[in-house]
Chains A and B, each alone.
Chain A
Amino acid sequence: MDYLPNILFAIALIIGLGYFTKNIKKLRRNIKLGQDVDVSNNKSQRWKNMAMIALGQSKMVRRPVAGFLHVIVYVGFVVINIEVLEIIIDGLFGTHRIFSGIGSLYGILIGSFEILALLVFVAVIVFWIRRNIIKLKRFWKAEMTSWPKNDANYILYFEMVLMTLFLVMNATDIHFQDMASGNVVSQFISPWFSSLSEHTIHLVERSAWWLHILGIMVFLNYLYFSKHLHILLAFPNTYYGSLKAKGELNNLESVTKEVMLMMDPNADPFAAPAEGAEEEEPSKFGASDVQDLNWVQLLNAYTCTECGRCTSECPANQTGKKLSPRKIMMDTRDRLEEVGNNIDSNKGVFKEDGKQLLDDYITKEELWACTSCNACVEACPVSINPMSIILEMRRYLVMEQSAAPTELNNMMTNIENNGAPWPYNQMDRLNWKEE
Chain B
Amino acid sequence: MSDVLKVPTMAEFMAQGKQPEVLFWVGCAGSFDDRAKKITKAFVKLLNKANVEFAVLGTEESCTGDPAKRSGNEFLFQMQAVTNIEVLNAYEIKKIVTACPHCFNTLKNEYPSLGGNYEVVHHTQLLKSLLDDGRLSIEGGKFKGKRITFHDPCYLGRANNVYEAPRELIKKLDAELVEMKNCKRNGLCCGAGGAQMFKESEKGDKEINVERTEQAMETTPDIIAAGCPFCNTMMTDGIKVKEKETEIAVMDIAELIATAQDL
Contacts and interface: CB of A to CB of B under 8 A. Distances in A.
B200 A422 contact: no
B128 interface: no
Q: What's the interface size class on A, roughly? A: 35 or more
Contacts of A258: 75
Contacts of A245: 105, 108-109, 159-161
Contacts of B196: 371
Interface residues of B, number: 72
A411 B110 contact: no
Given A429-B61, A430-B31, A430-B58, A251 B114 contact: yes
A275 interface: no
A107 interface: no
B71 A394 contact: yes
Contacts of B154: 371-375
A421 interface: yes
B192 interface: yes
Nearest to A322: B202
A260 B191 CA distance: 34
A320 B193 contact: no
B70 A368 contact: no
A247 B161 CA distance: 10
A411 B71 contact: yes
Nearest to A390: B194
B26 interface: yes
A396 interface: yes
B68 interface: yes
B109 A244 contact: yes
B5 interface: yes
Interface in B183-227: 185-186, 188-189, 191-208, 211-212
Given A394-B71, A397-B72, A420 B62 contact: yes
Given A319-B211, A433-B5, A260 B109 contact: no
A44 to B, nearest CB: 20
Contact of B37 (A256, A378, A435): A435
A430 B114 contact: no
A188 interface: no
B59 interface: yes
A430 B71 contact: no
A399 B194 contact: no
B143 interface: no
Nearest to A374: B158
Interface in B46-78: 56, 58-59, 61-63, 65, 67-76, 78
A294 to B, nearest CB: 15
Nearest to A401: B72
Nearest to B198: A411
A233 interface: no
A286 B62 contact: no
Chain A: interface secondary structure?
A: helix
A318 B188 CA distance: 10
A246 interface: yes
B72 to A, nearest CB: 3
Contacts of B9: 430
Contacts of B56: 430
A398 interface: yes
B202 A255 contact: no
Given A259-B78, A419-B63, A430-B9, A412 B68 contact: yes
Contact of B114 (A249, A256, A321, A394): A256
Contact of B206 (A319, A377, A415): A319
A433 B2 CA distance: 7
Contacts of B114: 251, 256
A422 B78 contact: no
Residue of B31, B62, B201, B212 with most chain A CB atoms under a 10 A cut-off: B31
A315 interface: yes
Interface stretch (A26-34, A128-136, A402-410): A402-410
Given A315-B188, A371-B193, A372-B70, 12 more contacts: A246-B159, A315-B189, A316-B202, A365-B203, A373-B158, A394-B70, A399-B72, A404-B73, A410-B198, A412-B73, A420-B32, A430-B7
Interface of B: 2, 5, 7, 9, 26, 28, 30-33, 37, 40-41, 56, 58-59, 61-63, 65, 67-76, 78-83, 105, 108-110, 113-114, 154-155, 158-161, 185-186, 188-189, 191-208, 211-212
